[in-house]
Amino acid sequence: MKILNTHAGLGGNRKKWGPGHEVTAIEMDPKIAAVYQKENPNDKVIIGDAMEYVKKHRNEYDLVWCSPPCQKHGRMMKATRHDVADYFDPTLYQLIIFLTHFYKGKWVVENVKPYYTPLIKPTCVMGRHYFWANFEIQPINVPNIKGFITNSTANETQKMKDWLGIQYEGNIYYGKNHCPGQVLRNCVHPDVGLHILNESMREGLFNKLT
Ligand SMILES: C[S@@+](CC[C@H](N)C(=O)[O-])C[C@H]1O[C@@H](n2cnc3c(N)ncnc32)[C@H](O)[C@@H]1O
């Protein structure tokens, strides 16, 4: 299957897809993209803007998976004593509406449970994730790790790497975030990524445009 994996991050969702698929990954951060490429040497990794790529190239793929940034939607926005109040990032809903109306292959958009009632009802709620998709997704138990939210020391960060099966030297910081665990917390667990890929292949590949 030809898969477009956008906002690819370290490739948590991609980790267990195996070598049988032709995957193009789009990731804006070069350091994060380098880890993804090392983990998945046969994938085509493009450092650039996923939103433009989806617009231009979506029809070259059988499945499009998008994991746009979740920081401005997640419940941490309201759980901290610091003032982080901000407008939400509209790319999540831009992608869902765009793919619903302008893409006939299978697609899935992933994000975290938001602090507000989602503007578009998700197809599936699984663990800490919401998934919007044009195929049915049966929820499974999402693997969890102690201290998921707080893990930040070198030792704890290594445990997160082991939990995901993604290894790299030292720390990578996500944007302006000072916690080395954040880039790992951004990942979809590989078991969930594999489950969703399998769900996407349960029926035929192409749908009618709505
Ligand atoms: C939630 S993480 C992705 C997690 C990934 N699905 C996984 O399972 O490992 C979102 C990623 O999108 C990247 N990103 C943010 N905006 C982007 C854009 N416009 N184009 C490409 N990548 C972007 C961030 O650098 C970050 O690594």
- pLDDT single digits (tens) 2-35: 999 999 999 999 999 999 999 999 999 999 999 9
- What is the Å distance from ligand 1's center to 47 Cα? 11
Q: Which atom of ligand 1 is closest in space to residue 11's alpha carbon? A: 9
pTM of the model: 0.95
Give residue for tokens 């975290």. 112
Determine how many CB atoms are found less than 10 A away from the CB of residue 150: 11
* CA of residue 68 to ligand 1 center, whole Å: 6
Q: Please tell me what DSSP assigns to residue 86.
A: -
- Give ∠ CA 15-18-21 in degrees, rounded to 5: 110
CA of 155 to the centre of ligand 1 (A): 25
Question: What is the distance in A from the centroid of ligand 1 to the CA of 65?
Answer: 11
The H or E element that residue 162 is part of is helix 154-164
As a whole number, the mean pLDDT across the chain is: 94
Q: Are strands 124-126 and 129-133 parallel, antiparallel or unpaired?
A: antiparallel
User: pLDDT per residue over 28-59, tens digit each?
Assistant: 999 999 999 999 999 999 999 999 999 999 99
Token representation of residue 183: 């880039």
The answer to which of 76-80, 155-159, 188-192 has the lowest mean pLDDT is 76-80
Q: Provide the pLDDT for residue 205.
A: 56
Ligand 1 atom, smallest distance to 65 CA: 6
- How do residues 113-163 score in pLDDT, each as one tens digit? 999 999 999 999 999 999 999 999 999 999 999 999 888 898 999 999 999
- Taking phi over 0 as left and psi of -120 to 50 as alpha, with beta for the rest, 170 belongs to left
Predicted local distance difference test score (pLDDT) of residue 208: 52
Q: Indicate which atom in ligand 1 lies nearest the CA of residue 10.
A: 9
Rounded to whole angstroms, the Cα distance separating 95 from 137 reads 18
Query: For ligand 1, which residues put their CB under 6 angstroms from it?
Result: 7-13, 26-29, 32, 49-51, 67, 69-70, 186-188
Residue 209 has a pLDDT of 55
| All domains in the chain, ordered by first residue | 2-140+187-200 (3.40.50.150)
Mutation pick for ligand 1 pocket among 10, 13, 27, 177 (CB with most ligand atoms within 8 Å) = 27
> For residues 109 and 90, what is the distance between their CA atoms, to the nearest angstrom?
13
Cα 187 to averaged position of ligand 1 atoms, centre (Å): 9
- Nearest-CA residue for ligand 1 atom 14 is 7
112-116 LR contacts (CB < 8 Å, sep 24+): 112/70, 112/73, 112/74, 112/75, 113/74, 113/75, 114/73, 114/74, 114/75, 114/88, 115/73, 115/74, 115/75, 115/77, 115/78, 116/73, 116/88
Q: Structure tokens of 135?
A: 């195929």
Distance CA 204, CA 4 (A): 18
Instruction: Supply angle C-alpha 73, 173, 126, rounded to 5.
Output: 40
Cα-to-centroid distance, 177 and ligand 1 (Å): 14
